[in-house]
Amino acid sequence: MTTICFGKPYSYVAEFQKPYSLGHTDSKQRWIDLSKCGVKYGDIYLDSAWDEAIIDPTSFKIDMKKRQNLLNKFYQCMENKGYIRIKHCGRKNSTSDKGLCNE
């Protein structure tokens, strides 16, 4: 079998799935939950969850300890809302797409 890996990668948002609906998680509800956990709507990179850790935006200086604490808080919040994180979704519309993630 030939592997076709030309599909686009899934966003970080798509990695968060409900365990009972892998690949079919309600994307509208997921955005609501992401927002409640500190992510600004539309931020597919999830960077806004730890924006508070930026000390100087012009030099991108970041308080790494604060960033890690914010990351932990974010992941815990999503877990408390019933999400699991799928780190390797594969690529959309390719043979590497595992069907576990959705946008």
Q: Would you say residue 37 has pLDDT above 60? A: yes
Residue in this structure with the two tokens 């509208």, named with its chain if needed: 28
Overall pTM surpassing 0.75 (yes/no):
yes
Work out the average pLDDT over 92-102.
87
Domain ranges of the chain: 13-85
Q: What is the pLDDT of residue 96?
A: 82
- Quick: pLDDT tens for 54-86: 877 777 788 899 999 999 999 999 999 999 999
Residue type, 22: L
pLDDT of res. 4: 52
Following DSSP, what letter does each residue of the chain receive, concatenated? ------SPBPPTGGGEE-GGGTT---HHHHHHHHHHTTPPTT-TT-GGGGGGGEEETTTTEE-HHHHHHHHHHHHHHHHHTT-EE-S---BTTSTT--S----
pLDDT digits (tens, 9 = 90+) for 4-35: 567 888 999 999 999 999 999 999 999 999 99
- Asked if residue 1 has pLDDT above 50, the reply is no
Distances, alpha carbon 98 to alpha carbons 9, 14, 22, 66, in Å:
12, 12, 10, 34
Q: What Å distances lie between residue 87 and 10, 17, 29, 34, 63, CA to CA?
A: 10, 11, 20, 17, 25
